[in-house]
Chains A and B, each alone.
Chain A
Amino acid sequence: MFALAWANLMHHKLRSLLSALAVGIGIMLMLVSNGLATGSLAEVDQRMQSVDAELVILPAQDNIIFTGGAPFRRGHEQHLCQAADERGPLAAEVIPVFFGQVKMGGQQQRLFGVDPRQMAAFLGPRRVLAGKLFERAGAFCDRLRAGEAAAPSLSDPAYQAFIADGLELVIDQRLQRVGGYRLSDELQIMGQVFRIVGIIETGVAGRVFAPLQTLREIALAGEPSASMYFVRLRPGLDPVAAADFFQRGLGSDVRVELKSDYGRLLRESFAQVSLYLNASSGVALSACFLFILLTMYTTVIERTREIGILKSLGVGRGGLLRLSINEALLISLGGVAIGMVLAFLVRGVLLVYKPLLTVELAGRGLAAAVIVGVVGGVLSALYPGYRAARLDPAVALSAE
């Protein structure tokens, strides 16, 4: 029956190819959309895991993907700083991060506002490839802390001079290559002109860094708030117990999570979008498998006489159903193969035109494509196969 199914498909090569191509396009959509989602999430998680910390502190209500602004109150940072104090029981270092947005490398990037003195927690073993970690690291903040109050108006020349040495960016090598940036290039961000002062190895939490206090001055008038906090614990402490401690102290409008759970939190936050993506892929694939159903149904109508011949030879209903399923399976598995090739091609194209995107085409997604192909193929063959099986042999043989 398998050989007969293959021969039948080869007899209508173009139709078979078009059917397989339809499935292939659906499979490609599924692989690329999911691969883009999982790849991007995995990359963000991987970069976040590079931060030298055990806990992350986030606003309780925020979707982690869209965390931004300054949802924390002054009291939160005071509480955290006390914990990080020399006499504090738990934290070795509290690392506030304020997120801004900047368009670089052809797409929106999350701008990480961090204290220059804490860059080591982000950099880890990665090297500074060019320039420095903020040209006057710390000087800007030191001046702020020394009480040199900022002028109230952003447009005030005195204020501009005050923050000038804080208008600095450090970017990673991937973004530098994609955007073709060089040291001393200037970019307009939040109404200010920032200058690239350093390029670091790829793999750090953010692709673009700016001094935290600069962003706080520009966006929050110096208010000590942040979008999220990392906490590095004293050695030997249990992160779970420490997380509980911070959670109790900070209250219910804040959530304290293990950094190792960040990937899971990302995926949970992405669930709604993921549902939409899966639904879109599902609709596309359903249309593709309807195409197979239509092809198989047309085949049954066209080959009514052949079905009669097979019945006269003693092929039963099960045999005819298997024949139909085999043909549909061959089409759909061919479609899966085409879809995989197309998905890798699309990934290649994206790498050229959108190099900052990550499309993950890993074993799990590919295996899912095969399963979808097999299940879809079988389902789309059932009705045509049933029709073929139910044909009366004498009537089928008399068909023209």
Chain B
Amino acid sequence: MNDELMIDVRDLHHAYTHGGVVEPVLHGIGLHVQRGEFVVVMGPSGCGKTTLLNIIGLMLTPTRAETVRVAGCETLGLDEALRTRLRRDALGFVFQRFNLLRTISVRRNVALPLGLRGMAADGPVDDLLARVGLAGMAHKKPGQLSVGQQQRVAIARAVVGRPALLLADEPTGNLDSANAAAVLDLLSEVHRADGQTIVMITHNEQLAVQADRVLHMRDGRILD
């Protein structure tokens, strides 16, 4: 086992079952991601990128795999409570649709991961909101922000607890090019400044240039 590996996936298979019909999605995926690495996964729609990310993010249990180690922890066979704890303590998510809680303020959205860990939120949250350029928006509800601002809030929420691994699923997919560039700059800055390990899915070749490594997927397999 390599302690430098943030993600160690071997022979990962997954299939969805809909109404008795089995639909294989991933076929023997192997993936190693080093600590502090910024990896971009690219590929056409339906090739299994999001499924892979959901399995790494412990949101989905694979049909079969030799190993799925995340942040130094073997996740195969973990019960729901331990998967939840690992997700809370070691992982951060950024989604294409931002997935902010619309009923609470920007500040509370960002503070939520810290609150779940029982940590004080005020200082880190305010610092982070200033860092993503949203210091004046703390009391607003997500619906009152532009889409670019909402994605910055989502990134702030994902990194506020300093997770070992940040998983981003097409974080620029709903943004115009200017906002997309700003969000990518923000992720790159988090990667550079904090040594944050990032696995990002994107369709955009231009955004991939800032990654340490680009992986291509097709038909449930990693090509590179």
Known: A394-B54, A394-B60, A397-B95. A314 touches B88 (CB 8 A): yes
Q: Does B32 sit at the interface, judged by CB under 8 A?
A: no
Contacts of A3 in B (CB 8 A): 104, 108
Nearest A residue (CB) for B116? A314
Cα distance A149–B87 when bound, in Å? Answer: 100
Cα distance A11–B100 when bound, in Å? Answer: 14
Q: Contact: B59 with A397, CB < 8 Å?
A: yes
Binds B, one of A21-29, A275-283, A304-312: A304-312
Nearest A residue (CB) for B58? A393
Nearest A residue (CB) for B81? A316
Q: Contact: B99 with A11, CB < 8 Å?
A: no
Out of A8, A306, A317, A397, name the residue touching B80 (CB < 8 Å). A317
Chain B interface, number of residues (Cβ within 8 angstroms): 25
Known: A314-B87, A315-B84, A393-B59. A309 touches B99 (CB 8 A): yes
Nearest A residue (CB) for B86? A314
Q: Does B17 sit at the interface, judged by CB under 8 A?
A: no
Out of A10, A312, A319, A397, name the residue touching B103 (CB < 8 Å). A10
Nearest B residue (CB) for A12? B103
Return B198 CB to nearest CB of chain A, in Å: 16
Q: Does B220 sit at the interface, judged by CB under 8 A?
A: no
Contacts of A392 in B (CB 8 A): 59-60
Q: Contact: A4 with B87, CB < 8 Å?
A: no
Return B138 CB to nearest CB of chain A, in Å: 15
Q: Contact: B85 with A4, CB < 8 Å?
A: no
Return A241 CB to nearest CB of chain B, in Å: 68
Q: Does A367 sit at the interface, judged by CB under 8 A?
A: no
Nearest A residue (CB) for B82? A316
Cα distance A7–B89 when bound, in Å? Answer: 25
Cα distance A177–B80 when bound, in Å? Answer: 71
Known: A3-B108, A8-B103. A312 touches B87 (CB 8 A): yes
Cα distance A29–B92 when bound, in Å? Answer: 50
Q: Contact: B103 with A314, CB < 8 Å?
A: no
Q: Contact: A314 with B113, CB < 8 Å?
A: yes
Q: Does B93 sit at the interface, judged by CB under 8 A?
A: yes
Q: Contact flags (1/0) for B116-144 with A, using CB distance below 8 Å? A: 10000000000000000000000000000
Return A268 CB to nearest CB of chain B, in Å: 52
Cα distance A314–B113 when bound, in Å? Answer: 8
Cα distance A10–B141 when bound, in Å? Answer: 13
Cα distance A7–B88 when bound, in Å? Answer: 22
Cα distance A306–B103 when bound, in Å? Answer: 10
Q: Contact: B99 with A316, CB < 8 Å?
A: no
Known: A311-B84, A312-B93, A316-B81. A7 touches B103 (CB 8 A): yes
CB-defined A-B contacts under 8 Å, sample of 11: A305-B99, A308-B99, A312-B57, A312-B87, A313-B116, A314-B84, A314-B89, A317-B81, A394-B54, A394-B59, A397-B99
**Apart from A3-B108, A313-B87, A316-B85, 11 more pairs, CB < 8 Å:** A8-B103, A11-B103, A305-B99, A310-B101, A311-B84, A312-B93, A313-B116, A313-B157, A316-B80, A392-B59, A393-B59
What 3 pairs between A and B have smallest CB-CB spacing?
A: A314-B88, A316-B84, A11-B103
